[in-house]
Amino acid sequence: MEIRHIFANNQKWIKEKIKTDENYFKNLSLGQKPHILYIGCSDSRVSTEELMGAQPGEVFVHRNLANMVPNTDLSSMSVISYAVSTLKVQHVVICGHYYCNGVKAAMQSADLGILNPWLRNIRDVYRLHKDELALVTDEEEKYKRLVELNVQEQCVNVIKTPDVQRAIKERGLTVHGWVFDVHSGELIDLKIDFDKILEHIMEIYRIV
Ligand code: CO
C-alpha cells in the first residue's frame, strides 16, 4: 500500500458505491444506527469490517493494542458508554486474535516503556488464570489460550460498566467473545459461558 495510491483508490470506491445507489453517501450522512459495538486489536491484519462482511454504518468500532478494556481508560470507557447508551447497540463484541504481538510482548521480561502499564493488564489476566495456563506445555498453544482468556476478561470488564449492566437489564444486550485466527482467516465464537463466570463475581461488580 503506497500512500500516493490512497486518494485514487478512494475515488474508485466512491464510484463503485454510487454505481449501485446514487444516494449512498447522502444516506450515510443522515446518521448511524449500528447494532454492534466491536472492540478489537489495532493489528493491521485484523481488518474488522472486511472479515465480517460489514458495510459502513453497521458496526461501531474501537481498536487498541490487544483489544483491552481497562477500567481507567477514558477512550474505551467513552466508546462503550456512547455506543451502548446513546446509539443503543444490541451487541458488544470483544474480538481478539491469535498471533497477537501485544499479548506476546506482555509475557516477556522487557521494559517496554510507555507500553508497560497498558500491557500489565495482560499480565494480570495471566495471573488470574495461571493454574490453567501452567497445564499448557506448548508455547504457541499457551499464547493462543492467553489470547482467549484475555478476550474473556475484557468481556467481564465490559460487563462491569454501568451502561452495559443497564442495557442488559433493560433490553437484553448481549456480550460476545470472539477470536480471529490470522493463520486461517477464521472468525471463532468462543461461546463464553458468562452465567458461570459471573455467578460469583457480580455480587462485587453490580452497579445498577
Ligand atoms: Co493484536
Write out pLDDT tens, residues 121-166: 999 999 999 999 999 999 999 999 999 999 999 999 999 999 999 9
What φ, ψ does residue 96 adopt, rounded to 5°? -90, -175
Q: Which domains does the chain have, with CATH numbers?
A: 13-205 (3.40.1050.10)
Q: Say which of 5, 45, 123, 171 is annotated catalytic.
A: 45
Give residue 69 CA to ligand 1 midpoint distance, Å: 14
> What does pLDDT average to over the chain?
96
pLDDT at 201: 92
Any idea which residue has 481497562 for its cell?
70
Residue 107 pLDDT > 90: no
Give residue 40 CA to ligand 1 midpoint distance, Å: 8
Q: Say which of 62, 95, 97, 155 is annotated catalytic.
A: 97
Give the three cell numbers for residue 199.
Answer: 455467578
pTM of the model: 0.96
Give residue 23 CA to ligand 1 midpoint distance, Å: 36
What φ, ψ does residue 113 adopt, rounded to 5°? 60, -125
pLDDT tens, 61-89?
A: 999 999 999 999 999 999 999 999 999 99
What pLDDT band is residue 32 in, cutting at 50, 70 and 90? very high
Q: Say which of 41, 95, 155, 176 is annotated catalytic.
A: 41
pLDDT at 106: 85
Give residue 44 CA to ligand 1 midpoint distance, Å: 9
Query: Does residue 111 have an active-site annotation?
Result: no
Give residue 181 CA to ligand 1 midpoint distance, Å: 11
Q: For 23-52, what is the mean pLDDT?
A: 97
Cα dihedral across residues 175, 200, 129, 163: positive or negative: positive
Q: Which residues lie closer than 8 Å to 176 by C-beta, 6 or more apart?
A: 91, 92, 93, 94, 155, 189, 192
- Cross-strand pairs, 62: 39
- In this structure, are residues 119 and 66 in contact, taking their beta carbons and an 8 Å threshold? yes
Query: Does residue 41 have an active-site annotation?
Result: yes
- In this structure, are residues 204 and 159 in contact, taking their beta carbons and an 8 Å threshold? no
pLDDT at 167: 98
Query: Does residue 100 have an active-site annotation?
Result: yes
DSSP, collapsed to helix, strand or coil, labels residue 64 as strand
